A = this chain, B = another copy of it.
Amino acid sequence: MNHPSRDLAAFAAQLRYDDIPTPVLRRAEDLLLDWAASALAGKGARPVETIARFAAQMGGPGTAQVLISRTHTTPLFAALVNGASSHYAEQDDVHNGSVFHPAAVVFPAALAVAQAQGNSGRELLCAAVAGYEVGIRVGEFLGRSHYRIFHTTGTAGTLAAAAAAGRLLGLDAGQMLHAFGSAGTQAAGLWEFLRDAADSKQLHTAKAAADGLTAAWLARDGFTGAQHILEGPQGMGAGMSRDADPARLTDRLGTRWALPETSFKYHASCRHTHPAADALLQVIQAHGLRPADIAHVEARVHQAALDVLGPVEHPRTVHQAKFSMGTVLGLIATCGVAGLTEFAERFDAAGIVAFRGKVRMVLDAEVDTAYPARWIGKVTVTTTDGRVLHGRVDEPKGDPGNTLSRAELRDKALRLAAFTQAATPAEVDALVERIWSIAQLDRIGDLL
């Protein structure tokens, strides 16, 4: 009997380190580093610290590490707080095809379980790969209609976290399927918060990591879940999507590796702004334009960009500004880069606000058709002296075909940690070395 949920669960439960191609493992290390730096970049942020205080009041003592505070607690609360912090700066990775941020949910759950159990670096990497392969396929399964209303990182993320935690907990295929059932029936996260610049995004990643861990932990102890939580008639696809495609759940399992399809973020903003940002940068550099030279920018985008970014017309906070196409393009035009520092210091500067008024988004048929497999960036720039200039990138910076080098990743980690003073440059260097040799560690221990 065709049963994609079971096939996917069996894959996650049975994945072995030696089955994973070396480049995938090396990329997993890079993603772990990029995640840890992103988690440090959430230090001090009000929503993150609020969740951390909640965890401190509700949790108990343990050996899992909260990165922003370097305190220790039970795995549930380490997953919760690390999940909350790792998506705050919007600098963590993204998988284009599923529009899903795997690191923010996979690594918090996996690291917490690995530290609690004393797992090896290889076991952590193998579990992380399981989490990525599952979560990405669940995101692809849920499809574009899901993403219009649900935050896929919260929903698919719960399954991803369950897979990663479940692999470390040694679940067999049957237990893993139960864990999927318990994860899927907890999966939640609505985009409605974005309209109000509310704090829910941190709650979504925190809860996906914690709830996925919960599902796996319960499954190891015999707790059962629905066998068809994804594709069943009262499952996630039926309730939360109109174009769910079960074939995506098992797409080339074991031969297609989805993890290295993941993109690193280069700009400190919502990924939907990146293609246009790169395309604008191309035009600006090619023609030596200053902000004052630009009369209008038309960002030609896919529908999901309109859905997610469209409601943000007048950003009132740094976080909301990261979802404002006009703000992002204004920073690119003014500073040449849209990093954490530029957002923090300039998102509401008069020049940026003025530039925002010059930007509009329009749906582009080619861009929309290619999405989500490819995120094409197209802009049409009209200059104040009447020229009409076209910019185009086929693969934005950080995408697999245009990825970051290890040197660039180290630099990014140093910048992220410095931004919140969560770690000194020497500590980041030690973290980098530790993660790039993690496959030799018999016991993970503290990352910091």
Contact = CB atoms under 8 A, between A and B. Distances in A.
Given A57-B74, A190-B184, A196 B149 contact: no
A42 to B, nearest CB: 14
Interface stretch (A120-128, A215-223, A275-283, A350-358): A215-223
A115 to B, nearest CB: 14
Contacts of A222: 46, 50
B194 A181 contact: no
Given A198-B181, A218-B51, A192 B58 contact: no
A369 interface: no
A204 interface: yes
Of the candidates A190, A204, A211, the one having the most CB atoms from chain B within 10 angstroms of its own CB is A190
A228 B185 contact: no
Interface in A163-221: 178, 181-182, 184-200, 203-204, 207, 211, 214, 217-218, 221
B188 A226 contact: no
Given A61-B60, A217-B54, A225 B199 contact: yes
Contacts of A186: 188-189, 203, 207
A47 interface: yes
Query: Within the oligomer, what is the number of copies of this chain?
Result: 2
A contact patch SS: helix
Given A59-B59, A150-B239, A182-B200, A190 B221 contact: no
A193 B199 contact: no
Interface stretch (A230-238, A395-403, A421-429, A435-443): A230-238
Nearest to A239: B149
Interface of A: 46-47, 50-51, 53-54, 57-61, 74-77, 148-150, 154, 178, 181-182, 184-200, 203-204, 207, 211, 214, 217-218, 221-229, 232-236, 238-240
